[in-house]
Structure 1
Amino acid sequence: MRAWTRLAPVVAAGLAAALLVPLMDAQADEAGPVTVVTSTFEDGTTGGWVPRGAEVLSHSTTVAHGGTGSLAIAGRTRTWEGPVLDVLGTFDKGVRYTISVWVRLATGSDSARLSVERRTGGTASYDQVVGNTALTAGAWVNLTGTYTLATDVEYLTVYVETASGFGDLHLDDVTISYVPDTPIQTDIPSVKDVVAEFPVGAAITPAALLGEHGKLLAKHFDSITPGNALKWDATEPAEGTFRFADADAMVTFAKAHGQAVRGHTLVWHNQTPAWVFLDANGNAMTATPENKALLLARLEAHIRGVAGHYGADIPVWDVVNEVIDESQSDGYRRSRWYEITGLDYIRTAFRVTREVLPNAKLFINDYNTNVPAKRDKLHALVALLKSEGVPVDGVGHQMHVNIDWPSTAETEAMITTFVPLGVEQQITEMDVSIYTGNGESFPAPPADRLLKVAYKYRDLFALYRRYATEITSVTVWGLADDDTWLDTFPVTRKDAPLLFDTRLQAKDAYWGVVDPSKIGTTTPAPTPTGGATAGACAVTYRVTGQWQGGFQGDVKITNTSAAALSSWTLGWNFTAGQQLSQLWGGTGSQSGTTVTVRNASWNGTLAPGASTGAGFLASWTGTNPAPSAFTLNGTACTSA
């Protein structure tokens, strides 16, 4: 897949003054988050945080995010030096924690990241919770991410480090919390039972095997794809040193629940350790015959080590991943693999895997294969390889798509293009983003976008089922919306691309696969905080999410007159200084207290009794009362 970076473990050194709080009030989830760590640095101590190296930590009143105190970190001489908090004994396995810290520099600028170190059997692993985030001395920056401990550890810490400089830091207002799991729904059909034409799988992290996540995985899916646990950096971080614990746990789970396992991936240009591309003297490889031979030998040893370890337990492999670059005249990605070996790394990978696993299905996998230029370059490569006798059994289409792209016709053309080659086809990494561009961001997924996700799943699964003689497996890239790579790629924002929501409950997207007639039945009914009716119109207004200084809302308009509307304009007044900042489902503007919303091109026609709506983001200070009156095309809708 494309740069799928997982969130992970947490903190280092002593919870002495970190507070353990039984329950924190919150609006976000029904159960309410439980806070397990709070560090405000208001008591004159370092709150249990300790240095990671030779730097000095002290209580400071120079600057503070909240209150008067913060943690000062001075004397750093290496980028990895920074404040560390020990959470061993605080974190429970299988619980998904949200970690939030506020950071700023004392001087200058840099980037900071929030990471974790965990150790098992004396072996350290480093996991990134929040990636590099711009940092200055002029403002506090919030680093927030999530982590689930999936394995037994003897050491577990959370820490902050910088990307390049050694500047002094300040840390403040740290919170770590979790929301108790909601039991999964056991009274709904299992996806794997409804979709009988081919196996339906999910790509997972080790945490998905535990608790309610594990129950959801077992109930609905025929197969499992280890999202990261079989990649080169996870399985052979140092030459000849193999690690299989995470992937072994997934294979064991799959066996216990009658599920298949897809292997992903043996060769990729990403997540490959640097040592792989160093020559015999430890220097970066150049394209020489000696380096080509060395690199292909390392590739062969890696495949024999990994594929040989699993044998028949993993009967399907993405042997090579993302080797096409349609911008190149020959269509081949200029990876280090290609620069040093040409196409021989692909030939070697398939040949060796076939020798190790003579009965396995071997796939070449890529993204954007519904784009004609890329599709055709991949087709040409597969045709070439098969003509040479290279054992390519199938083509994997990742299908990372969004609510507006691609069309069903484009996807059908993708499938039919490869039929003449006589290869199997699988959908290997499907998800449907609510976003259509990098400039969009919603604090919570709007209801209309969630419906569009459902319709996209409906249409694409219907297509896959029509081509069941060609499509032999469909895998979604994630179990539920609480753990999706799209929350951080291509930009950081909350996405909702999967069949189940952040509480593991079935979404409209689930019904789009299982029973499209029920799309719309899982969207919560509006809870009005303000409303109005009249002879010609009915309006429901609700706040769907609120945070300090901002909120998200929506309005539902119903034409209660006997005449159809060909366009509409909705108006109301914000009476407490609220300011509209973004709107979808129409075009919005605000003048003083007056908000005006006009229909979009696609929802202007409103038949008698029909409804439509718009969603918006706005700011607030002090109070946030609902509007008491609305007008539709100049007609008053008096307060109900």
Structure 2
Amino acid sequence: MLKGGLNVNVSGLAELYFESKNTSVEIWADSISLQPFTQDQWSSHQDQSIEKKKLSFPFGSAINKNILTNTAYQNWFTSRFTVTTFENEMKWYTNEPVPGQENYKDADALLQFAKQHSIAVRGHTVLWEDPNYIQGWVASLSPRDLAIAVDKRINSIMSKYKGQLIAWDVVNENLHSSFFESKLGQSASASFYNRAQRIDAATTLFLNEYNTIEDNRDDLSKPDNYLRKLREIRGFPGNNNLTLGIGLQGHFSNPPNLPYIRASIDILASASLPIWITELDVANNFGEQAQAEYLEQILRELHAHPKVSGIVLWSALAPGGCYRMCLTDDNFNNLATGNVVDKLRQEWGSNSSEGTTDTNGFFEASLFHGDYKVKISHPTMTSPFLAQSFKVVSTDHRSEQTTLLLKV
């Protein structure tokens, strides 16, 4: 059965044309059903799904080393997000620009910053298949020496950060590029996952790819091809018990096709693996308001899908701006995109609240189920605040909220 959606901007008669590149396949069309949706009807479906989401839904943004020396950036970021990815600081060309001279200084500092603020970190990326991002010294290696260098790279970064991350992007953009496979053989990428599992078996290993949900014209990374690649990885000797995840970048250069996004995730969900949106942004050539509107549409669609496990925005701020989508200006005043993020955070229940205890030291709040961090301050305390993390779970499956009584 084929399932999908179409965005049609005209009215009138239409013909549906089905084509397959497999000449041995017969295509039959039977019981075709076309259902038009207004924007309100489509959004109502999202709202119904959102009600089933937990408050602990991971929502974050990429950061880079610039945040380490910018207190205003730190305050803005840590008050909003629960997960992050380092923009370039864990990439091989950053960690080893010269053979044998490894440098994890910035990655170490960013990881320490994230830990201090209880922000989870995705490891990005162990290896990148795109030859445009391969160091010259790596590209010039013989196949034998390349295999040694790759094994050293995997062992170096994954052993260093073993058990400290929630995910590893083991191979980046392997559906579009195949530098290592062209040098080391067709099963090279699958072997990398085998090596990664032996080093850090407890952390989910992702295949990270673009245009799987962004652009239905890109045949290389369509959902079926993504699933085929996953089967190749799993089929490698010793990989049958891999802890795998599906990483979808989400770099939108065109107005979003919401039915295609939903249908693509439905197809990928058949693999029964966690699905993360890992690098979400919207191109800045639409104008500020349109960019924000598209971002909101995409975020609502993704958050509403029950199989999406987390979302990371690709909006790390640097002195020269952002990759394509900033959330604030240089003074950390929200742009239209930042306002979208804050609005949705509030709707989804991830905003913070403040309160004062009564004369007996009690504070009562009704909270949605999920992960929380409470900060307690008092004029007599020597430190700025006392922090304690906790999880609110349900004792009654009919209720999504629990009353918390805190004694200070």
> Which bracket does the TM-score occupy, shorter chain normalised?
0.5 to 0.7
Select which of 439, 452, 474 maps to 2:311: 474
Select which of 395, 409, 426 maps to 2:259: 409
Amino acid at match of 1:200: F
Name the CA distance, whole Å, in 1 between partners of 2:54 and 2:332: 20
TM-score (norm 1): 0.42
- Deviation (angstroms), 1:383: 2.4
Q: Contact 1:261–1:316 at 8 Å: present in 2 too? A: yes
- Deviation (angstroms), 1:197: 5.0
Deviations along 1:477-503, whole A, 9 cap, x unmatched? 1245862123xxxxxxxxxx2332343
Q: Which residue of 1 aligns with 2:123?
A: 263
Q: Which residue of 1 aligns with 2:187?
A: 344
Select which of 345, 353, 359 maps to 2:196: 353
Q: Secondary structure at the match of 2:268?
A: helix
Q: Which residue of 1 aligns with 2:158?
A: 307
Q: Which residue of 2 aligns with 1:457?
A: 295
Select which of 504, 510, 523 maps to 2:338: 510
- Deviation (angstroms), 1:252: 0.5
Name the CA distance, whole Å, in 2 between partners of 1:477 and 1:398: 9
Deviations along 1:83-129, whole A, 9 cap, x unmatched? xxxxxxxxxxxxxxxxxxxxxxxxxxxxxxxxxxxxxxxxxxxxxxx
Cα 1:197/1:517, change in 2 over 3 Å: closer
TM-score (norm 2): 0.64
Runs of 4+ in 1 over 6 A off after TM superposition: none
Is 1:431 the counterpart of 2:269? The answer is: no
Cα 1:214/1:475, change in 2 over 3 Å: same
Q: Contact 1:481–1:501 at 8 Å: present in 2 too? A: no
Q: Contact 2:251–2:282 at 8 Å: present in 1 too? A: yes
Q: Contact 2:205–2:245 at 8 Å: present in 1 too? A: yes
**Which structure is larger by alpha-carbon Rg, 1 or 2?**
1
Q: Which residue of 2 aligns with 1:253?
A: 113
Q: Which residue of 2 aligns with 1:277?
A: 139
- Count of paired positions: 283
- Deviation (angstroms), 1:392: 5.7
Is 1:501 the counterpart of 2:337? The answer is: no
Cα 1:392/1:360, change in 2 over 3 Å: closer
Deviations along 1:510-565, whole A, 9 cap, x unmatched? 333443699xxxxxxxxxxxxxxxxxxxxxxxxxxxxxxxxxxxxxxxxxxxxxxx
Deviations along 1:148-198, whole A, 9 cap, x unmatched? xxxxxxxxxxxxxxxxxxxxxxxxxxxxxxxxxxxxxxxxxxxxxx99352
Q: Contact 1:317–1:362 at 8 Å: present in 2 too? A: yes
Deviations along 1:18-68, whole A, 9 cap, x unmatched? xxxxxxxxxxxxxxxxxxxxxxxxxxxxxxxxxxxxxxxxxxxxxxxxxxx
Alignment of 1:185-264 (within 5 A): 196-209=55-68, 210-264=70-124
Select which of 245, 254, 258 maps to 1:394: 245
- Deviation (angstroms), 1:456: 1.7
- Deviation (angstroms), 1:368: 0.9
Amino acid at match of 1:247: A
Q: Contact 1:476–1:498 at 8 Å: present in 2 too? A: no
- Deviation (angstroms), 1:230: 0.7
Q: Which residue of 2 aligns with 1:130?
A: none
Name the CA distance, whole Å, in 2 between partners of 1:248 and 1:457: 31
Name the CA distance, whole Å, in 1 between partners of 2:342 and 2:186: 42
Cα 1:340/1:517, change in 2 over 3 Å: closer
Q: Contact 1:382–1:392 at 8 Å: present in 2 too? A: no
Q: Contact 1:432–1:498 at 8 Å: present in 2 too? A: no
Name the CA distance, whole Å, in 1 between partners of 2:65 and 2:54: 25
Q: Secondary structure at the match of 2:315?
A: coil
Deviations along 1:367-398, whole A, 9 cap, x unmatched? 11123422232221112322445336111111
Q: Contact 2:316–2:323 at 8 Å: present in 1 too? A: no
> Which segments of 5 or more consecutive residues in structure 2 lack a partner in the other structure?
1-52, 347-408
Cα 1:516/1:247, change in 2 over 3 Å: closer
Deviations along 1:185-235, whole A, 9 cap, x unmatched? xxxxxxxxx993521122121012322111112111112211111111111
Q: Contact 2:90–2:123 at 8 Å: present in 1 too? A: yes
Q: Which residue of 2 aligns with 1:610?
A: none
Name the CA distance, whole Å, in 2 between partners of 1:382 and 1:295: 24
Name the CA distance, whole Å, in 2 between partners of 1:513 and 1:212: 18
Q: Contact 2:87–2:316 at 8 Å: present in 1 too? A: no
Q: Secondary structure at the match of 1:485?
A: coil
Cα 1:311/1:424, change in 2 over 3 Å: same
Q: Contact 2:66–2:318 at 8 Å: present in 1 too? A: no
Q: Contact 2:60–2:82 at 8 Å: present in 1 too? A: yes
Amino acid at match of 2:313: V
Deviations along 1:546-595, whole A, 9 cap, x unmatched? xxxxxxxxxxxxxxxxxxxxxxxxxxxxxxxxxxxxxxxxxxxxxxxxxx
Q: Identical aligned pairs, as a percentage?
A: 24
Deviations along 1:284-332, whole A, 9 cap, x unmatched? x4xxxxx2x432222111111111111111231110001113xxxxxxx
Q: Secondary structure at the match of 2:149?
A: helix
Amino acid at match of 1:416: D
Q: Contact 1:296–1:348 at 8 Å: present in 2 too? A: no
**Greater fraction helix:** 2
Name the CA distance, whole Å, in 1 between partners of 2:255 and 2:73: 29
